[in-house]
Structure 1
Amino acid sequence: MRTALIIATLAVTFCGNASAATRLSVGTRVQPVDIVLSDFAFTPQNLRLHHGQVYQLRLMNRGSGAHNLAAPEFFAAAQINPGDGAAVSGGRIEVGKGETRTVTLTPVAAGRYGMTCTHFLHASFGMTGSITVD
C-alpha cells in the first residue's frame, strides 16, 4: 500500500512537470527579449511586456565585470518556468563577465516595476531601468 502511494505521488509529480513543459513548448509562442548588461547600463533600459505572454529573457553581459538584473517585485509577479527558477535568486539574475543567462517567464500582473544592478555603485552610475507590464 505504501509503495503504491509513493509511486502514485511520483507519477503525479513527473506528469505535472512534463505537462507544464509540454504546454510551454507546444502551441505557445515564446517571445524572445534580449537585454544587454554593460558598464553601466541595460539595453534596452525600459522594457514593455504584456501580461499572459510567455517571454524568454536573454541577459547578455558585455561589461568588464559581473552584473545582475534585480527586479524583485517583477519576478514575484511573474510565473517563472520551473526549469529556470534557480536562475532567479532573491529577485535577481546574476550574470558573470562574458556570460549569458536565459530565463523563460510569463508576467501575470500588470504594473510598472523597477530594475537595477545591485552590484556596488552600479545603480549610482546609471544601471537602472523599468519593466512595464500592460
Structure 2
Amino acid sequence: MKTSLIITTAVICLCGSAPAATRSSAGSQAKPVNIVLSDFAFTPQNLHLHHGQAYQIRLVNRGSGGHNLAAPEFFAATQVSPGDAATLVGGRIEVGKGESRTVSLIPVTVGRYRMSCTHFLHAGFGMTGTITVD
C-alpha cells in the first residue's frame, strides 16, 4: 500500500511538471497584437512583449503592394504554434496586398530583436522596427 502511494505521488508530480512555456499557454489566453504593414512602415514600429505570455500576432497589409515582417532571431526565440509554423519561411512572414496573416506564439527568450521588411528598398525607406521581450 505504501509503495503504491509513493508511485502514484511520483506520477502526479512528474505529469504536473510541464515546461514553463506550455503552462503559460494553457493557463492564460493568447493576447492579440495587431501590426499594420503600410507603404514603408510598421504600426506600431516597436513592440513590447512578455516572456512566457501567449500572443496571437496579426499582420494586416494596407500597403499598395506586398510586404513581409522579417525577424529571424525573434522567431527563433519563440515557441510557434505547430499549425502556424508553415507561415514562417526563413524567419519572415509574407503578406500580400490587402491580405492578413495570424501567427500564435510564445516568446521564450528575453531580448531585443530587429524586424524589417525585406522587399527591395523597403527597409531603406524606413520599414524597420524592434521587438523587445522582457
Q: Per the shorter chain, which TM-score range?
A: 0.7 to 0.9
Encode CA deviations 1:75-115: one digit per residue, 9 max, x unaligned.
Answer: 00000000000001100000000000000000000000000
Cα-Cα RMSD: 1.7
CA contact (8 A) 2:24 2:52 kept: no
Q: How many residues align?
A: 113
TM-score of the pair, normalised by structure 1: 0.81
| One-letter amino acid of the structure 1 residue matched with residue 122 of structure 2 | H
**Which protein has the larger Cα radius of gyration, Structure 1 or Structure 2?**
2
| 1:59 and 2:59 aligned | yes
CA distance in 2, matches of 1:114, 1:121: 16
Q: Structure 2: state its 5+ residue gaps.
A: 1-22
4+ long deviations beyond 3 Å = 23-27
CA distance in 2, matches of 1:89, 1:80: 12
Q: Structure 1: state its 5+ residue gaps.
A: 1-22
TM-score of the pair, normalised by structure 2: 0.81
Question: What is the Cα deviation at residue 27 of structure 1?
Answer: 3.9
| 1:125 and 2:128 aligned | no
Determine what percentage of the aligned residue pairs are the same residue: 75
Secondary structure of the corresponding residue to residue 126 of structure 2: coil
